[in-house]
């Protein structure tokens, strides 16, 4: 590296926030109004005074592949190794609303997550996993309301009272349009479904987060840390506006069931500042914009994933170190639940061995390093507090820009958000290839090694056949009249705008209607989203 190429490394964060050589008392905000005690508004230092002393973050490893049976085995393994929550990865057909026997998507069944067609698959997925004790997170968006209906129905069949169900459904459709891509319907009916689920969870499942507003996918698509957080908070505002505008719930009746989800990448202090500033900004928004009375409404609770595009194939075991630093930054930022990616993520689905290693990374952090002892141990650090303020100013600026675009839906519909993200991705790729952004093992300190090959997961031919056979048998054996009746009722309700569809979706689930059938029915009424191709 020449001295030229290391300059950005020392003079600004990855997200282009300038960094001074040192910070002092003059850089600190007011203690009483701003830094404050953990557990007090504006929650810059955390939601709870007891922090991790009262409750450790959840070790939640994202997993799912092939059939419900194979995934169930992996979940039980993870729980047996000290995992404290589950995180379900679905295959793309389930996420986009196709059944496993749809010829349109035959090559994608079970490939990047578990294939779910009907409630029968859900029963197998959670076999011998008590849903009143293990919290389950679902990375599902386009079909989130349907999957939530399946989960509630599976809980009903296990005999678990709905108020004991614990977990989170991602259910954040806006970022799908902008960065993740599993949209189905246009924004208006999709937002309605999100609001329906939020209302349902407020009424029926008080310990289940109705939404996990996710910045992670903006980030992995290229966004800076500040953009990731600002876009996410703006999405959060859009959902709250939608629910509040219906006039059926006050902010305090549903905001405590909103959670957030991010990527933690490699810039250690920038990530810590991102979480502290995001928590602080959200608290202010909920209070000022919606006049929340209950402090729990203002609490910004978040999960994160460490890994993604911050990991590299070159000298791949270096990723273990990267993930460990990212995990520590997340904990110092006050994370509530965490997924640490396996070091082989850039080229394979993790094996049992590599995923265990990733889990151990969290366990070492929690039980050996002592970082969880005192709440917000970096509170009052001249640098961290100043960077938190700088990050907060960035958030306010970016959010004002989005409001200027007419709000998040408009900014996504006209491709504005997508363009900002793609430009950052291109800038980063150029910086890595020029050496301006150093990556150990890739563009500096390279070693001679045999390049690692990508191993894509191939669903077992037999398992795929079984999946289709079971689906065919289920279709044959179910009560057709009940199926048709459930879909007719759903259709009638969907044509209106003031009926909550959740109870009807649960009826469909129990009548063994499939994901694909429900989606197709609603497409007839709502149409399909057409992607803006401006970028």
Partner 1 sequence: MPPRVLIAKPGLDGHDRGAKVVAYALRDAGFEVIYTGIRHKASEIVAVAIQEDVDVIGLSILSGAHISLTSKVVNGLKANGAHDIYVVVGGTIPLSDRQKLISVGAKEVYPTGTTIDELVAGIRSICNFPDTSKDESTSSSVTSRVLET
Specify the residue, 426 or 445, whose C-beta has the smaller distance to partner 1.
Answer: 426
* Closest distance to partner 1 from the beta carbon of 482 (Å): 30
Considering the rule CB under 8 A, would residue 535 count as an interface residue with partner 1? yes
Q: Which of 56, 129, 309, 463 binds partner 1 (CB under 8 A)?
A: 309
Give min distance, CB of 156 to partner 1, in A: 30
DSSP structure string for 308-327: GGG--STTTTHHHHHHHHHH
Give the residue among 338, 349, 341 at the shortest CA–CA distance from 321.
Answer: 341
Residues 427-446 that bind partner 1 (CB under 8 A): 429-430, 433
Q: Does 2 bind partner 1 (CB under 8 A)?
A: no
**Stretch in the footprint of partner 1 (CB under 8 A) among 3-11, 91-99, 118-126, 372-380:** 91-99
Longest alpha-carbon distance in the chain:
74
Is residue 314 within the footprint of partner 1 (CB under 8 A)?
Answer: yes
Residue 31 or 457: which CB sits closer to partner 1?
A: 457
Is 235 a binding residue for partner 1 by CB under 8 A? The answer is: no
Q: Which of 99, 220, 270, 394 binds partner 1 (CB under 8 A)?
A: 220
| Spatial separation of the C-alpha atoms in residues 349 and 41, rounded to whole Å | 41
Q: Residue 106 CB, nearest distance to partner 1 (Å)?
A: 8
Helix (H/G/I), strand (E/B), else coil: 340: strand
CA nearest neighbour of 282 among 55, 49, 54, 47: 47
**Nearest 5°: phi and psi at 243?**
-70, -45
* Binding of partner 1 by 461 (CB under 8 A): no
Query: What is the residue-wise DSSP string for 258-283?
Result: EEEEEEE-S-HHHHHHHHHHHHHHHH
Applying the rule CB under 8 A, the residues between 95 and 114 that interact with partner 1 are 95-96, 98, 104-108, 111-112
Pick 393 or 455: Cβ nearer partner 1:
455
According to the binding rule CB under 8 A, does residue 133 interact with partner 1? no
**What tokens were used for 371?**
């970082």
Q: Which is nearer to partner 1, 464 or 506 (CB)?
A: 464
Which long-range CB contacts under 8 A does 497-502 form with residues at least 24 apart? 497/192, 500/196, 500/199, 500/200, 501/145, 501/193, 501/196, 502/145, 502/148, 502/149, 502/196, 502/197, 502/199, 502/200
CB of 427 to partner 1, least distance (A): 10
Give the integer Cα–Cα distance in Å for 535 and 532: 8
Using CB under 8 A as the binding rule, whether residue 457 contacts partner 1 is answered as yes
- Residue 417 CB, shortest distance to partner 1, in Å, is 13
Please confirm whether the linkage preceding 177 is cis (ω < 30° from 0): no
Instruction: Report the distance separating Cα 348 and Cα 317, nearest Å.
Output: 13
Based on CB atoms, which residue is closest to partner 1, 367 or 426? 426
As a whole number of angstroms, the distance between CA 322 and CA 312 comes to 10
Binding site for partner 1 (CB under 8 A): 92-93, 95-96, 98, 104-108, 111-112, 176, 179-182, 220-222, 309, 313-314, 346-347, 422, 425-426, 429-430, 433, 451, 453-458, 530-535
């Amino acid at each position: 590296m020449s001295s030229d190429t290391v300059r950005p490394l020392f003079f600004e964060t990855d997200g282009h926030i300038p960094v001074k050589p040192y910070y002092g008392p003059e850089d600190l905000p007011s203690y009483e109004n701003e830094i404050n005690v953990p557990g007090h508004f504006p929650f810059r230092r955390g939601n709870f005074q007891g922090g991790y002393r009262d409750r450790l973050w959840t070790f939640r490893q994202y997993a799912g592949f092939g059939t419900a049976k194979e995934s169930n085995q992996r979940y039980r393994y993870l729980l047996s190794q000290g995992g404290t929550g589950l995180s379900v990865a679905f295959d793309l057909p389930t996420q986009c609303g196709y059944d496993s026997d749809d010829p349109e998507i035959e090559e994608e069944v079970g490939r990047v997550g578990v294939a779910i067609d009907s409630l029968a698959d859900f029963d197998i997925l959670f076999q011998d996993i008590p849903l009143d004790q293990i919290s389950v997170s679902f990375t599902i968006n386009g079909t989130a309301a349907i999957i939530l209906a399946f989960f509630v129905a599976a809980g009903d069949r296990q005999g678990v009272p709905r108020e004991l169900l614990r977990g989170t459904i991602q259910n954040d459709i806006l970022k799908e349009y902008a960065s993740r891509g599993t949209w189905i319907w246009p924004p208006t009916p999709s937002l309605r479904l999100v609001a329906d689920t939020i209302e349902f969870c407020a009424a029926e499942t008080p310990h289940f987060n109705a939404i996990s507003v996710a910045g992670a996918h903006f980030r992995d698509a290229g966004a800076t840390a500040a953009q990731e957080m600002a876009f996410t908070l703006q999405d959060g505002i859009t959902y709250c506006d939608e629910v509040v505008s219906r006039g059926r719930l006050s902010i305090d009746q549903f905001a405590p069931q909103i959670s957030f989800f991010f990527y933690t990448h490699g810039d250690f202090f920038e990530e810590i500042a991102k979480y502290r500033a995001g928590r602080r900004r959200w608290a202010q928004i909920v209070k000022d914009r919606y006049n929340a009375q209950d402090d729990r409404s203002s609490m910004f609770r978040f999960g994160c994933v460490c890994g993604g595009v911050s990991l590299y194939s070159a000298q791949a075991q270096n990723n273990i170190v990267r993930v460990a630093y990212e995990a520590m930054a997340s904990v110092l930022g006050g994370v509530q639940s965490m997924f640490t990616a396996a070091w082989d993520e850039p080229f394979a689905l993790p094996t049992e061995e590599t995923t265990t290693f990733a889990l151990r990374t969290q366990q070492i952090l929690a039980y050996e390093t002592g970082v969880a002892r005192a709440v917000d141990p970096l509170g009052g650090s001249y640098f961290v507090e100043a960077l938190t303020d700088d990050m907060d100013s960035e958030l306010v600026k970016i959010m004002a820009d989005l409001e200027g675009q007419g709000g998040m839906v408009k900014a996504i519909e006209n491709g504005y958000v997508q363009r900002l993200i793609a430009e950052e991705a291109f800038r980063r790729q150029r910086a890595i290839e020029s050496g301006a952004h150093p990556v150990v093992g890739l563009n500096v300190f390279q070693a001679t090694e045999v390049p690692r090959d990508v191993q894509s997961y191939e669903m077992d031919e037999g398992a795929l056949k079984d999946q289709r056979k079971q689906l065919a048998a289920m279709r044959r054996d179910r009560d057709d009249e009940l199926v048709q009746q459930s879909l007719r009722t759903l259709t009638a309700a969907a044509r209106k705008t003031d009926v909550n569809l959740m109870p009807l979706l649960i009826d469909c689930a129990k009548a063994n209607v499939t994901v694909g059938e429900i989606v197709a029915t609603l497409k007839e009424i709502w149409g399909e989203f057409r992607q803006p191709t401006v970028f």
